[in-house]
Amino acid sequence: MINYSKKVLKHFRNPHNLGKIVNADGVGEVGNMACGDVMKLYVKVADDKITEVKFETYGCAAAIATSSAITDMVKGKSLEEAMAMTEAGVIDSLDGLPPVKIHCSLLAVEALREAIYDYMKREGRKIPKDLEEYHRRISKLGKSS
Protein backbone atom coordinates (compact mmCIF):
# COMPACT_ATOMS: atom_id res chain seq x y z
CA MET A 1 0.00 0.00 0.00
CA ILE A 2 1.24 3.48 -0.88
CA ASN A 3 1.25 6.09 1.87
CA TYR A 4 0.23 9.54 0.69
CA SER A 5 0.45 12.80 2.63
CA LYS A 6 -2.75 14.43 3.88
CA LYS A 7 -2.38 17.13 1.21
CA VAL A 8 -2.17 14.56 -1.59
CA LEU A 9 -5.30 12.85 -0.31
CA LYS A 10 -7.10 16.19 0.08
CA HIS A 11 -6.36 17.17 -3.55
CA PHE A 12 -7.26 13.69 -4.77
CA ARG A 13 -10.59 13.57 -2.94
CA ASN A 14 -11.54 17.17 -3.73
CA PRO A 15 -9.53 18.31 -6.76
CA HIS A 16 -9.33 22.04 -7.43
CA ASN A 17 -9.91 23.47 -10.91
CA LEU A 18 -11.15 20.19 -12.35
CA GLY A 19 -12.70 20.35 -15.79
CA LYS A 20 -12.25 21.74 -19.25
CA ILE A 21 -11.99 25.35 -20.40
CA VAL A 22 -13.98 25.83 -23.58
CA ASN A 23 -12.02 28.06 -25.96
CA ALA A 24 -8.86 27.81 -23.87
CA ASP A 25 -5.96 29.99 -24.93
CA GLY A 26 -3.57 27.07 -24.53
CA VAL A 27 -3.86 23.33 -23.99
CA GLY A 28 -1.15 20.93 -22.90
CA GLU A 29 -1.58 17.18 -23.06
CA VAL A 30 0.99 14.70 -21.79
CA GLY A 31 1.05 11.12 -20.66
CA ASN A 32 3.20 8.35 -19.30
CA MET A 33 2.90 5.16 -21.31
CA ALA A 34 4.45 3.09 -18.52
CA CYS A 35 1.78 3.87 -15.92
CA GLY A 36 -1.09 5.00 -18.15
CA ASP A 37 -1.54 8.47 -16.64
CA VAL A 38 -2.80 11.16 -19.04
CA MET A 39 -3.07 14.86 -18.16
CA LYS A 40 -4.68 17.67 -20.09
CA LEU A 41 -4.22 21.19 -18.76
CA TYR A 42 -6.09 24.25 -20.07
CA VAL A 43 -5.14 27.92 -19.58
CA LYS A 44 -6.72 31.29 -20.19
CA VAL A 45 -4.25 34.17 -20.36
CA ALA A 46 -4.69 37.95 -20.11
CA ASP A 47 -1.92 40.53 -19.84
CA ASP A 48 0.66 37.71 -19.70
CA LYS A 49 -0.98 36.25 -16.58
CA ILE A 50 -2.79 32.95 -16.20
CA THR A 51 -6.30 34.02 -15.30
CA GLU A 52 -7.93 30.61 -15.40
CA VAL A 53 -6.54 27.08 -15.36
CA LYS A 54 -8.28 23.71 -15.32
CA PHE A 55 -7.30 20.11 -15.83
CA GLU A 56 -8.59 16.72 -16.83
CA THR A 57 -6.53 13.77 -15.63
CA TYR A 58 -6.90 10.06 -16.03
CA GLY A 59 -4.64 8.42 -13.52
CA CYS A 60 -3.79 7.54 -9.97
CA ALA A 61 -4.25 9.60 -6.80
CA ALA A 62 -0.83 11.24 -7.24
CA ALA A 63 -1.56 12.20 -10.86
CA ILE A 64 -4.84 13.84 -9.88
CA ALA A 65 -3.32 15.54 -6.82
CA THR A 66 -0.34 16.96 -8.75
CA SER A 67 -2.68 18.26 -11.47
CA SER A 68 -4.86 19.95 -8.86
CA ALA A 69 -1.87 21.37 -6.99
CA ILE A 70 -0.17 22.87 -10.03
CA THR A 71 -3.37 24.65 -11.06
CA ASP A 72 -3.51 26.29 -7.62
CA MET A 73 0.16 27.22 -7.88
CA VAL A 74 -0.08 29.01 -11.25
CA LYS A 75 -3.44 30.75 -11.14
CA GLY A 76 -2.76 34.49 -11.25
CA LYS A 77 0.94 34.01 -12.03
CA SER A 78 2.74 35.51 -14.99
CA LEU A 79 3.71 33.18 -17.83
CA GLU A 80 7.33 33.60 -16.79
CA GLU A 81 6.56 32.60 -13.20
CA ALA A 82 4.49 29.64 -14.40
CA MET A 83 7.28 28.42 -16.68
CA ALA A 84 9.60 28.44 -13.67
CA MET A 85 7.46 25.84 -11.84
CA THR A 86 9.40 22.70 -11.01
CA GLU A 87 8.75 19.11 -10.15
CA ALA A 88 10.27 19.75 -6.71
CA GLY A 89 7.91 22.69 -6.16
CA VAL A 90 4.89 20.53 -6.91
CA ILE A 91 6.15 17.78 -4.63
CA ASP A 92 6.86 20.26 -1.80
CA SER A 93 3.38 21.80 -2.14
CA LEU A 94 1.92 18.34 -1.45
CA ASP A 95 4.24 17.58 1.49
CA GLY A 96 6.00 14.94 -0.59
CA LEU A 97 5.18 12.01 -2.82
CA PRO A 98 6.22 8.38 -2.54
CA PRO A 99 9.31 7.75 -4.73
CA VAL A 100 7.33 5.50 -7.09
CA LYS A 101 4.93 8.42 -7.77
CA ILE A 102 7.43 11.22 -8.38
CA HIS A 103 6.91 10.96 -12.15
CA CYS A 104 3.39 12.35 -11.63
CA SER A 105 4.81 15.72 -10.58
CA LEU A 106 6.87 15.78 -13.78
CA LEU A 107 3.73 15.16 -15.82
CA ALA A 108 2.01 18.12 -14.16
CA VAL A 109 4.93 20.42 -14.99
CA GLU A 110 5.09 19.06 -18.55
CA ALA A 111 1.35 19.65 -19.09
CA LEU A 112 1.67 23.23 -17.84
CA ARG A 113 4.64 23.99 -20.07
CA GLU A 114 2.90 22.42 -23.06
CA ALA A 115 -0.18 24.59 -22.42
CA ILE A 116 2.01 27.72 -22.30
CA TYR A 117 3.83 26.61 -25.46
CA ASP A 118 0.48 26.07 -27.20
CA TYR A 119 -0.74 29.52 -26.11
CA MET A 120 2.40 31.24 -27.38
CA LYS A 121 2.28 29.37 -30.67
CA ARG A 122 -1.41 30.22 -31.23
CA GLU A 123 -0.70 33.88 -30.48
CA GLY A 124 2.28 33.99 -32.84
CA ARG A 125 4.54 34.99 -29.98
CA LYS A 126 8.24 34.41 -29.79
CA ILE A 127 8.71 31.18 -27.89
CA PRO A 128 11.66 31.20 -25.47
CA LYS A 129 14.46 28.89 -26.59
CA ASP A 130 14.29 26.70 -23.47
CA LEU A 131 10.51 26.23 -23.85
CA GLU A 132 10.94 25.35 -27.55
CA GLU A 133 13.60 22.77 -26.65
CA TYR A 134 11.42 21.37 -23.87
CA HIS A 135 8.50 21.03 -26.30
CA ARG A 136 10.69 19.26 -28.88
CA ARG A 137 11.91 16.81 -26.25
CA ILE A 138 8.36 16.08 -25.05
CA SER A 139 7.14 15.67 -28.65
CA LYS A 140 9.98 13.26 -29.40
CA LEU A 141 8.94 11.13 -26.45
CA GLY A 142 5.41 10.91 -27.82
CA LYS A 143 4.00 13.19 -25.09
CA SER A 144 5.32 10.97 -22.34
CA SER A 145 7.77 11.44 -19.56
Residues noted as catalytic:
35, 104
Backbone torsions φ then ψ of 27, nearest 5 degrees? -135, 130
Q: Could you tell me if 45 and 80 are in contact, meaning their C-beta atoms sit under 8 angstroms apart?
A: no
Residue 41 burial (C-beta neighbours within 10 Å; 0-12, 13-18, 19+): buried
Which residues are registered as beta bridge partners of 57? 39
Secondary structure (3-state) at 134: helix
Q: Which segments of the chain are extended strands (E)?
A: 26-31, 38-46, 49-58
